[in-house]
Amino acid sequence: MCLGQSVGAGADAWNRVDTAPGRVRTGIDVLEDEYFAPLLGKRVGLITNQTGVDSHGTRTIDLLVHENGLKLDAIFSPEHGIAGTSDGGAKVADSTDAATGARVFSLYGESRRPTAAMFENLSALVFDIQDAGVRFYTYVTTMGYVMEEAARARIPFFVLDRPNPLGGEVIEGPVLNREKLSFVGYFPLPARYAMTTGELAQMFNAENKIGADLRVVAMKNWRRGDIYADTGLAWIPPSPSLRTLDETFLYPGIEILQAGDVSVGRGTEKPFEMIGAPWIKGKELAAELNRRAIAGVRFAATTFTPHSEVHSGVLCEGVQVTVTDARALRSMSMGMEIADALYRMYPEKFRLERTIFLLGSDATLGRLKRGDPVPSIVAGWNAELDKFRAVREKYLMYRDEVGAETAGAGGSTPQ
């Protein structure tokens, strides 16, 4: 079942909390409006973190704990932990929620899937986490894994939908090779897929034949053309290195470079807004990248010393990346241009072949290594992206066209 419907929204600044009528209402807001009716009488397991709040900033955890008609029996946390403060890649231990005393089971510890024992006595599972809109961001993999286990246990799985921060229109990047599925690639998606978590859940459930009893609580007032700045919602960093919306837009293209022996600014005050290495010459790299006239960004030479990850504690030269127009920025095209420049300028230092881990496409990597022009590489994604669009179309819940059918207008979630 799919609840709620989608219309328009508008805002003019990052991180703005807008009380105007067009403000987006997320799945948890809609569930509150319905007095939690779909969950009444159930013993609930909640998959969430610090991003799981309503439009007033109240945690979904606290809303469910204090709702008399249901019982919150278990909490599950993804990578970065329940508070979103753990460094990426570091295992997270089980814990206790300080405010409620509830046990928190980590899904990024010894196991990345919930066990049957964790589901004991549960009669509903609820997912409420803000995604980053990027294939290799692990929260959607956690959603897929829990959905699979929910199907095995025959427990209904509710997704409280939230906006894709990068918007619902721009689809970009190579589609993941199916043989490279992993925790950073649950499904053959492009790097930017322009779908909400609720839409992805429908796609995963149907295309992977999971068979979950899936219920998506749809947003209200969100349109496909909205990026997060248009929603009127406060930005809560979903992980330590996505502190701002600019960083979130830069993330898909910059993150793929780290495996090539490049610091992407982790361990600094501007993660994903800087790239560097001891072997880079900042002025020459900035000049080359600005010469390429990459839409939506500009580059300036800089130096910095990261305090974690690649080149930790080592002075690096490189570039600072400034977003000038987030809507015009094509993150993966930018990443390809930077990778191409690094490989041409520093072929003995930049480990291009290692970028395959997140790039996920042997064909794209091969063309970069051959020195094919980046626009030609990007154009080469079109055939696979067209196939993806045809599949994606079946699961879209929100439409921008006047008079078009919107989420909640009737019908069931595809199973």
Residue 378 resides in a domain: no
What pLDDT score was predicted for residue 2? 54
Query: Which residue(s) pair with 106 in the sheet?
Result: 77
Both 228 and 264 in a single domain?
no
The tokens for 379 are 């154009």
* Percentage of residues in the chain having pLDDT higher than 90: 88
Cα–Cα distance measured from residue 364 to residue 187, given in angstroms and rounded to the nearest whole number: 18
- Residue 165, helix vs strand vs coil: coil
List phi, psi (to 5°) of 2: -125, 125
pLDDT band at 18; cut points 50, 70, 90? very low
Residue 400 resides in a domain: no
Both 19 and 50 in a single domain?
yes
Has residue 412 got a pLDDT over 50? no
More confident residue, 2 or 275: 275
Both 260 and 232 in a single domain?
no
Residue 109 resides in a domain: yes
Other Cβ atoms closer than 10 A to 88: 16
Has residue 97 got a pLDDT over 60? yes
Both 160 and 270 in a single domain?
no
Residue 185 resides in a domain: yes
Both 96 and 172 in a single domain?
yes
> Which CATH number characterizes residue 218's domain?
3.40.50.12170
Q: How many domains, in total, are found in the chain?
A: 2
Say if residue 371 is exposed, middle or buried (CB neighbours under 10 Å; 0-12, 13-18, 19+). exposed
The overall average pLDDT reported for the chain is 91
Residue 379 resides in a domain: no
Both 144 and 257 in a single domain?
no
* Percentage of residues in the chain having pLDDT higher than 70: 91
Has residue 16 got a pLDDT over 80? no
Sheet holding 103-106, edge to edge: 2-3, 214-217, 157-160, 124-128, 43-48, 71-77, 103-106, 95-96
> Could you list the residue range(s) of the whole structural domain that residue 365 is in?
245-370
Both 205 and 72 in a single domain?
yes
Other Cβ atoms closer than 10 A to 212: 26
Residue 403 resides in a domain: no
> Which CATH number characterizes residue 314's domain?
3.90.1150.140
Both 229 and 314 in a single domain?
no
The string of pLDDT tens digits covering residues 227-266 is 999 999 999 999 999 999 999 999 999 999 999 999 999 9
The string of pLDDT tens digits covering residues 298-346 is 999 999 999 999 999 999 999 999 999 999 999 999 999 999 999 999 9
What pLDDT score was predicted for residue 5? 31
- What average pLDDT does the segment 17-42 reach? 85
Write the DSSP symbol of residue 19: -
Both 192 and 249 in a single domain?
no
- Residue 276, helix vs strand vs coil: strand
What pLDDT score was predicted for residue 218? 98
Residue 217 resides in a domain: yes
Both 187 and 253 in a single domain?
no
Strand intervals (E) in 259-296: 274-277
Both 83 and 172 in a single domain?
yes
Both 284 and 177 in a single domain?
no
The tokens for 60 are 């979904």
Residue 144 resides in a domain: yes
